[in-house]
């Protein structure tokens, strides 16, 4: 027998460190520790056996992670910040103005560049984790400046989000978009990675019901990350960073509204103008080499479909009426190559007027229009989003102003067997009318059998006579019997599943059952709706 092993010297006991111990080791306050964890992306880890790690009620971090944190140069900055706060407080309380100024001049600052690099060693890693960063930046871009949120970070968020949108427009990488009650969801394919983000509706958010410190810490990191990603994206796609407009001068009218350089910044926000490139005359799309392979055909086809999708709106000239939210719609339309404009007083940078005769589509979100121009379509905003999700230009009839819109479905729901699929609008109306007819037909059909039954009843009490009748062969539904048989066999086999697998088997079955129940509930509800509509239709027609 070798040397006896002591308890707590190997395994989970040493691999995990509780939060309290970690704080003690790093000599930080809980607040600073949390901040560090947020910035460094360190998260608690659930040990497989908590008892072995040291108890049920604690949060555990990997000991390796904590050792890694101990070497973080930002910790010294945190300490410097603490001292700074102390000094500043003292200077303010003692009313030493000069001292205060000196202290303020020497406020410690830190940069998170190295952390970004550490957390995302490759560019693709960074893009993969972009979802939260984007959503947060887009949210912060709409927050009002307050004591909780400093204006610098809010402005920076706005700037970076506009840059990112410009990139998406420029690279035509938007894939899906969705109007939800929470906000606008967008999904883009950036460098082969799917990035999804959500932008709130254009209403004021306050953000004072949550812990602003945590939000700000996250945003601090996200801003750094998004900045570097923007830089890389712009430089990779031959664009100047920070973005510059390709045009030399802005509209005279807009220049009046906002002076000189500001106008150009505002023009970036319009998303309608092209950006300045580093090198001119680059091939926009690399051509796929022609191979005489069998597969090559498929590749070419998909590339062609992709190109078509990217230029979905390229032949459209769209005018946004003033009640239509400008930014999301400009963004989506521009991502697919449309020309977009709006009322000049809504936002600077309106390219053309409402009276322009070459406008093909006019997006309107009101039921009645005072005047109409004959050579353009007036459509409701949902048309744009539905077109993108359907990857083709949908017929505009269903989207005319004042017309009841077809349901707006989420493009993020994947088709799955057994899952509920809502009916399209045509299908719905067809079923309402069709079943109406069916019902009528049914009623006609059903009446005669009832009479027959009556007749049989009348014949019933005839006296029974002893007789031998020719026997009828009993019909055996072989399929059904076999089904029953196999079901029984399966049941018997299920009995013999070992306990270990039985739980898994049960949980899977339970989940399936729940799903099925949900689907059934939706189907039932739909049937009820159809019934009701049919009734309404009938009463309406009468």
Partner 1 sequence: MTGAKKSAKKALQRSKTPGELGGKSKNTSEKKAIQGKSKIQKAAPKPLFEEDDSDASSVLEDSEDPTSSEDDGAGDEADSSELEFESDADSGKEELDQGDIIEDKEKNEENGGPEAEKPEEELEDDGVSMTFWRADEEDFNLKSKVDLKKNKKKEPLEMSPQDRDVKPNGKRSASPRPSASKDEYEFDSSDEEDLRNTIGNVPIEWYDNYPHLGYDVNGRRVYKPVREDQLDYFLKKMDDPTFWRTVKDRMTGQNVVLSEADMDLINRLEKGKNPDPNMESYPKFEDLYSHEVMIHPLTARPEAKRSFIPSLHEKALVGRMVHLIKSGVYAKCWKPKKEEGPRYYNLWTEDEDPSLIRRLRSFIPAPKMKLPGHEESYNPPEEYLFTPEEEAEWHNQDPEERKLNFIPRKYSSLRQVPGYSGFVQERFERCLDLYLCPRQRKMRMNVNPDDLIPELPKPKDLHPFPAFCSVVYKGHTDHVRSVSMENLGQFFASGSDDCSVRIWETLTGRCFNTIQFEAPVKWVQWCPNPAIALLAVASGPYVHFVNPGVGDKVVLTNTDVILESLPESEGSAKGSGEWSVVTDEDLRKQGHRLRVHHKFDVAQVSWHAKGDYLAVLYGSASTTSLIIHQLSLRRSQNPFSKFNSVISRVIFHPTRPHLFVATQTVVRVYNLVKQELQKKLLTNCKYVSSIAVHPKGDNVIAGSFEARLSWFDMDLSTKPYKAMKYHDSAIRAVTFHRKYPLFASASDDGTVIVAHGMVYSDLLQNPLIVPVKVLRGHRRTNDLGVLDCTFHPTQPWIVSAGADATLRLYT
Binders of partner 1 among 427-456, rule CB under 8 A?
none
Q: Is 155 in the site for partner 1 (CB under 8 A)?
A: no
Among 396, 522, 534, 537, binds partner 1 (CB under 8 A): 522
CB of 441 to partner 1, least distance (A): 26
Q: Is 232 in the site for partner 1 (CB under 8 A)?
A: yes
Residue number, 121 or 260, with CB nearest to partner 1: 121
DSSP per-residue letters across 403-432: SPPPP---TTPPP-TTS--PPPHHHHHHHH
Q: Is 498 in the site for partner 1 (CB under 8 A)?
A: yes
Q: Is 68 in the site for partner 1 (CB under 8 A)?
A: yes
Residue number, 132 or 304, with CB nearest to partner 1: 132
* Residues contacting residue 214 through CB under 8 Å, at least 6 positions apart: 34, 38
Cβ burial, residue 158 (10 Å; 0-12/13-18/19+): middle
* C-alpha closest to that of 380 among 359, 413, 358, 402: 402
Per-residue interface string for the shown chain with partner 1, residues 290-309, x marking contact by CB under 8 A? --------------------
Place of tokens 């603490």: 82
Pairing type for strands 60-62 and 16-18 reads: antiparallel
Alpha-carbon dihedral of residues 242, 248, 254, 258, nearest 10 degrees?
A: 50
CB of 4 to partner 1, least distance (A): 30
Among 11, 13, 18, 200, binds partner 1 (CB under 8 A): 200
User: 323: number of CA atoms within 13 Å, CB side?
Assistant: 10
Q: Look up residue 516 and give its two tokens.
A: 């099925």
Q: Which residues pair with 378 in a beta bridge?
A: 362
Q: Is 104 in the site for partner 1 (CB under 8 A)?
A: yes
Among 31, 89, 117, 315, binds partner 1 (CB under 8 A): 117
Q: Is 183 in the site for partner 1 (CB under 8 A)?
A: yes
Q: Is 397 in the site for partner 1 (CB under 8 A)?
A: no
Distance between start and end Cα atoms, the chain: 96
C-alpha–C-alpha distance, residues 197 and 331, integer Å = 14
Per-residue interface string for the shown chain with partner 1, residues 18-57, x marking contact by CB under 8 A? ----------------x--xx---xxxxx-x---------
* Residues contacting residue 173 through CB under 8 Å, at least 6 positions apart: 188, 189, 190, 335
User: Do the Cβ atoms of 338 and 313 come closer than 8 Å?
Assistant: yes
Among 205, 301, 302, 314, binds partner 1 (CB under 8 A): 205
Residue number, 120 or 319, with CB nearest to partner 1: 120
Cβ burial, residue 35 (10 Å; 0-12/13-18/19+): buried
Q: Interface residues for partner 1 in 367-386 (CB under 8 A)? A: 367, 380-382
Pairing type for strands 183-190 and 193-200 reads: antiparallel
Contact segment (CB under 8 A) with partner 1 among 20-28, 117-125, 275-283, 285-293 equals: 117-125
Among 31, 145, 150, 231, binds partner 1 (CB under 8 A): 231
Q: Is 333 in the site for partner 1 (CB under 8 A)?
A: no
Contact segment (CB under 8 A) with partner 1 among 59-67, 294-302, 346-354, 461-469 equals: 59-67
Among 84, 110, 218, 377, binds partner 1 (CB under 8 A): 218
CB of 197 to partner 1, least distance (A): 9
């Amino acid at each position: 027998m070798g040397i006896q092993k002591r308890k707590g010297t190997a395994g989970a006991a040493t691999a995990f460190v509780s939060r309290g111990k970690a704080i003690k080791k790093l000599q930080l306050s809980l607040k600073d520790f949390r901040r560090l964890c947020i910035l460094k992306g360190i998260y608690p880890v659930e040990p497989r056996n908590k008892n072995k790690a040291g108890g049920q009620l604690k949060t555990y971090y990997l000991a390796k992670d904590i050792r890694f944190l101990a070497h973080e140069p930002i910790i010294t900055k945190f300490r410097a910040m603490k001292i700074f706060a102390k000094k500043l407080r003292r200077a303010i309380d003692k009313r030493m103005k000069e001292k205060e100024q000196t202290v303020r001049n020497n406020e410690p600052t830190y940069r998170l560049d190295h952390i970004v690099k550490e957390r995302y060693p490759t560019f693709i890693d960074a893009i993969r984790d972009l979802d939260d960063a984007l959503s947060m930046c887009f949210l912060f871009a709409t927050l009002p400046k307050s004591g909780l949120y400093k204006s610098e970070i809010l402005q920076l968020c706005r700037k970076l989000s506009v840059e990112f949108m410009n990139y998406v427009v420029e690279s035509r990488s938007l894939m899906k978009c969705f109007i939800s009650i929470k906000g606008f969801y967008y999904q883009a394919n950036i460098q082969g990675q799917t990035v999804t983000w959500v932008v709130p509706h254009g209403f004021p958010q306050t953000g004072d019901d949550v812990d602003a410190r945590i939000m700000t810490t996250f945003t601090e990191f996200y801003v750094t990350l998004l900045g570097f990603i923007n830089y890389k994206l712009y430089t990779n796609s031959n664009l100047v960073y920070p973005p510059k407009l390709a045009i030399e001068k802005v509209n005279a009218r807009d220049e009046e509204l906002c002076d000189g350089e500001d106008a150009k910044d505002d023009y970036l926000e319009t998303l309608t103008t092209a950006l300045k490139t580093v090198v001119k005359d680059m091939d926009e799309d690399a051509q796929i080499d022609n191979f005489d392979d069998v597969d090559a055909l498929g590749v070419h086809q998909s590339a062609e479909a992709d190109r078509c999708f990217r230029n979905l709106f390229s032949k459209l000239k769209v005018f946004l009426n003033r009640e239509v939210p400008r930014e999301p719609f400009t963004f989506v339309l521009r991502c697919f190559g449309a020309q977009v404009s709006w009322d000049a007083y809504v936002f600077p940078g309106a390219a053309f007027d409402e009276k322009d005769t070459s406008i093909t589509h006019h997006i309107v979100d009101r039921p009645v229009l005072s005047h109409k121009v004959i050579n353009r379509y007036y459509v409701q905003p949902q048309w744009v989003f539905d077109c993108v999700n359907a990857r083709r230009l949908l017929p505009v009839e269903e989207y005319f102003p004042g017309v009841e819109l077809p349901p707006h479905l989420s493009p993020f729901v994947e088709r799955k067997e057994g899952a509920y699929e809502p009916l399209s609008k045509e299908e719905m109306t067809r079923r309402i009318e069709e079943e109406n007819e069916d019902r009528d037909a049914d009623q006609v059909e059903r009446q005669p059998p009832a009479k027959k039954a009556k007749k049989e009843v009348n014949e019933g009490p005839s006296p029974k006579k002893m007789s031998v009748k020719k026997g009828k062969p009993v019909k055996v539904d072989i399929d059904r019997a076999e089904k029953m048989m196999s079901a029984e066999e399966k049941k018997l086999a299920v009995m013999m599943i070992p306990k270990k697998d039985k739980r898994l088997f049960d949980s899977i079955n339970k989940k399936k059952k729940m799903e099925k129940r949900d689907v059934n509930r939706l189907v039932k509800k739909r049937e009820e709706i159809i019934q009701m509509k049919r009734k309404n239709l009938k009463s309406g027609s009468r």
